[in-house]
Amino acid sequence: MNTRYYLSVIIALGFLVSCSSEPVKKKTEGFDLTVEVAKAKTIKQPELLSFTGRLEAATYSRLSTRIMGQVEKVYVKLGEQVKQGQLLLQIRNTDILAKKKQAEANVRVAETLLADAEKNLERYQSLFDKKSASKKELEGMQIQKQVAESKLQATKGMLVEIEETLKYANVRAPYNGRVTKHFVKAGDLASPGMPLISIEKKGEYEVVAQVPESEISQLQVGDYVEVELSAQDNRRIQARVSEINPSALDSGNQYEMKLQLDDLKDTKFKLYSGMFAKVLICMGEKDRILIPKSVLIERGQLVGVYTLSQSGTALLRWIRVGKTYGSSIEVLSGLSSGEQYVVSYEGKIWDGAKLKVNNTK
């Protein structure tokens, strides 16, 4: 009984071994994975220098006043379109109006005194001609007229000064534009030189960029560059260098450069001050090895790509990458021109897998 049992077990094990060894034999003789590969190629790419910048309005003003007083009313809202001469903000001017009335009264008094002095001078001139008045009396009348004229000029000058000051109580738009910021609100105290409201001229923009000291010598006013706007789907606009600040004492060894954008009549552009901009400057061409970013294998801080070894197996190669160019990335080291790397595959790939190449790009 026991002999038959052990014999049955041995026969069953032999059958299982023979069945399991068959697929192993087929796997060894076949391929683990079908892949598509491509050859790394050296491509000439433009050598670009890039600097960060921001979009600003070419015409921008922070409006202030020359008088001190309480803000009575702000007439415009943030973002509102305004026309040249439009009243934007008013400062309480009751005291200035009172001074104006006093100055006007002083002018009228001075005019009356001058008229009296002129009449007296005419009368004494007539008496002097008839030898009924002395020369000294005539000169006294002439001096009185000169004093009256001086007083009138002084009072008129005071009135003009007050009227000019009164203009600063009404803050008006210096040009057509849009309101970009309120620095005060009704009830706040305004003082001379204090910013009250800011406006900018719509449709005229420039890019302000910071250039490091290592690159500033390669640029000069009049050079044409490209500006890439991330908020506009990375569209590029041609621009001209309009200004370069020769001093970097206040900007940490970064030289400020201003770029004038080409005509922006394209209605697809919706530009706003403060948008991020990238300034691109072509400095010739350079040979680079570019591969698709989709083939990269990332493990922690390491970046690699599967290559095709001489024995036809997958070999994970760690590489060092550089700049990105659209959907491609530059390989700095770890992959040479002419070497084959895996572009696509179905399933899971591993180091040492036997590959069947379906297509070579």
CA dihedral 211, 217, 218, 222 (to 10 degrees): 80
- Domain of 178? 67-93+169-203
Closest CA to 338 of 27, 1, 38, 95: 38
Burial tier of 259 (Cβ tally within 10 Å: 0-12, 13-18, 19+): buried
pTM as predicted: 0.57
Residue 18 lies in a domain: no
Confidence of residue 19 (pLDDT cuts 50, 70, 90): very low
Residue 19 lies in a domain: no
pLDDT at 231 > cutoff 90: no
Domain of 269: which CATH number? 2.40.30.170
Mark which of 166, 193, 215 sits at the end of a domain.
Answer: 166
pLDDT at 8 > cutoff 60: no
Domain of 71: which CATH number? 2.40.50.100
Is residue 260 domain-shared with residue 346, that is, in the same domain?
no
For residue 60, what are the β-bridge partners?
Answer: 200
Residue 140 lies in a domain: yes
Is residue 87 domain-shared with residue 187, that is, in the same domain?
yes
Count up the domains in the chain and report the number.
4
Task: Note the pLDDT of residue 7.
Answer: 39
pLDDT 10s digits, 83-135: 999 999 999 988 888 999 999 999 999 999 999 999 988 888 888 888 888 88
Residue 2 lies in a domain: no
Domain of 306: which CATH number? 2.40.420.20
Closest CA to 107 of 41, 63, 163: 163
Task: Note the pLDDT of residue 343.
Answer: 93
Mean per-residue pLDDT for 199-221? 86
The structure tokens 């009172």 sit at 98
Confidence of residue 16 (pLDDT cuts 50, 70, 90): very low
| Lowest mean pLDDT across 36-40, 108-112, 198-202, 235-239 | 235-239
pLDDT at 200 > cutoff 50: yes
Is residue 183 domain-shared with residue 71, that is, in the same domain?
yes
Residue 10 lies in a domain: no
Task: Note the pLDDT of residue 12.
Answer: 44
Task: Note the pLDDT of residue 132.
Answer: 83
The structure tokens 């391929």 sit at 31
Pairwise CA distance, residues 217 & 244, whole Å: 11
Mean per-residue pLDDT for 227-245? 85
Closest CA to 353 of 319, 312, 318: 312
| Lowest mean pLDDT across 5-14, 194-203, 253-262 | 5-14
Pairwise CA distance, residues 219 & 196, whole Å: 38
Task: Note the pLDDT of residue 264.
Answer: 62
pLDDT 10s digits, 267-298: 566 778 888 888 888 777 888 999 999 999 99
Pairwise CA distance, residues 218 & 241, whole Å: 12
pLDDT at 237 > cutoff 60: yes
| Lowest mean pLDDT across 141-150, 151-160, 213-222 | 213-222
Pairwise CA distance, residues 203 & 141, whole Å: 65
Average pLDDT, the chain: 84
Question: Do residues 209 and 277 lie in contact, with contact meaning Cβ atoms separated by under 8 Å?
Answer: yes
In which element (H, E) is residue 117 found? helix 94-129
